[in-house]
Amino acid sequence: MELTIYAGAVNRDHVHMLIGIPPHISVSKAVQYLKGKSSHKLLAEFPGLKKRYWGQHLWGRGYWVESSGNVTDEVWKKYIEDQKPEEPDDSFKVV
């Protein structure tokens, strides 16, 4: 979908991402795509999640979006980097 992920931080109950979305793709479609693909990949890679979320959705319905018009990408990257927990919640790593 031509999405570019510039930065990200994973916490136990939410994810922060700085994403470049082409103007012809709506934000809601981009979020739907990211949640769908990541859910499919996580459920395939970690069988324990299938048991835990059987019949349910891995991701919640909501999301929060902010455009970066008046703030530089470096400021957003720093903000996202600061959102990472001091100590990892578990052995989960984003590569």
Please state, in angstroms and rounded to a whole number, the distance separating the CA atoms of residues 37 and 50: 15
Active-site residue identified among 6, 33, 63, 79: 79
Residues 6+ positions from 94 with CB-CB distance below 8 Å: 8, 10
Determine whether 63 is an active site residue: no
Provide the b/e sequence for 17-48 (b: ≥16 CB within 10 Å): bbeebeeeeeeeebbeebbeeeeeeebeeeee
- Residues tagged active-site: 79
